[in-house]
């Protein structure tokens, strides 16, 4: 039977993920948006939620999940994150191709556009490394994967934070802060910095 602490952790995670989606669903801005644009926007919110879940799974911080199960869920959630990002970008492409082209070419005037593009490629990079895990040495794989994940979270958070859209201020602030905190926590616990060449030289 799950302990009270485990129940509180899962309930807290559910609230942190669910509230931004609920608040966004109540936004008056949705009245003037096309269905595809709305779906793309919610895919972006889900992407941010998955960026919070991923480090929690990688670090084994979620109670009730054995390490093996946690790794499998982490892989499935990673694939879901890639799909959510592609749906986000694809939906925006359908509604406004010129804006997406400018963003991909880093010609967009808004900072959140190129931050979003960097986050997208970092997510795809992390997924590609995950698929090639058995073909890369463990140290190089962990370092490369960690770098991609760190870039994805930081630029993804910056992208979300700079957009004045349907997400509520407080719920967006909380989920962004927790995503960064969870990523920093797991990188610290795994001591990823020891994989850096300079770090090995100074041991």
- Predicted confidence (pLDDT) per residue in 58-99, tens digit: 999 999 888 889 889 999 999 999 999 999 999 999 999 999
Is residue 117 within 8 A of residue 159, CB to CB? The reply is no
- Indicate the pTM of the whole model: 0.90
Question: Does pLDDT of 127 surpass 70?
Answer: yes
The predicted model gives 16-34 an average pLDDT of 92
DSSP 135: G
Is residue 149 within 8 A of residue 121, CB to CB? The reply is no
Question: Does pLDDT of 47 surpass 90?
Answer: yes
Question: Does pLDDT of 166 surpass 70?
Answer: yes
Per-residue confidence (pLDDT) for residue 11, from 0 to 100: 96
What is the rounded CA–CA span in Å between residue 29 and residue 32?
6
The predicted model gives 15-22 an average pLDDT of 96
Number of domains the chain contains:
1
Instruction: List alpha helices for 4-132, DSSP H.
Output: 4-25, 35-58, 67-95, 97-104, 111-131
- Rounded percentage of the chain residues whose pLDDT exceeds 90: 73
Bigger pLDDT: 132 vs 194: 132
What is the rounded CA–CA span in Å between residue 98 and residue 91?
13
Domain encompassing residue 25: 4-201
Q: How many CB atoms lie within 10 A of CB 117?
A: 19
SS3 64: coil
Question: Does pLDDT of 202 surpass 50?
Answer: no
Q: Give CA 36 to chain center in angstroms.
A: 21
Q: How crowded is the C-beta side of 192, counted as CA atoms within 13 Å? A: 19
Question: Does pLDDT of 135 surpass 60?
Answer: yes
Question: Does pLDDT of 12 surpass 90?
Answer: yes
Is residue 159 within 8 A of residue 115, CB to CB? The reply is yes
């Amino acid at each position: 039977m799950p302990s009270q602490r485990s129940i509180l952790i899962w309930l807290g995670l559910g609230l942190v993920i669910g509230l931004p989606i609920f608040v966004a669903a109540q936004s008056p801005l949705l009245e003037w948006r096309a269905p595809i644009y709305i779906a793309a926007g919610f895919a972006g919110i889900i992407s941010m939620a998955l960026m919070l879940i991923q480090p929690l799974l990688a670090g084994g911080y979620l109670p009730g999940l054995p390490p093996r199960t946690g790794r499998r869920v982490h892989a499935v959630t990673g694939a879901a994150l890639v799909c959510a990002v592609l749906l986000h970008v694809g939906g925006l492409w359908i509604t406004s191709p010129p804006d997406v082209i400018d963003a991909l070419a880093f010609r967009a005037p808004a900072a959140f556009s190129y931050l979003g593009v960097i986050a997208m490629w970092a997510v795809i990079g992390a997924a590609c490394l995950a698929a090639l895990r058995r073909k890369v040495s463990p140290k190089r794989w962990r370092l490369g994967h960690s770098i991609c994940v760190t870039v994805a979270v930081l630029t993804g958070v910056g992208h979300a934070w700079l957009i004045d859209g349907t997400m509520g201020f407080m719920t967006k602030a909380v989920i962004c802060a927790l995503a960064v905190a969870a990523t920093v926590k797991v990188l610290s616990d795994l001591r990823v910095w020891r994989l850096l060449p300079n770090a090995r030289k100074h041991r």
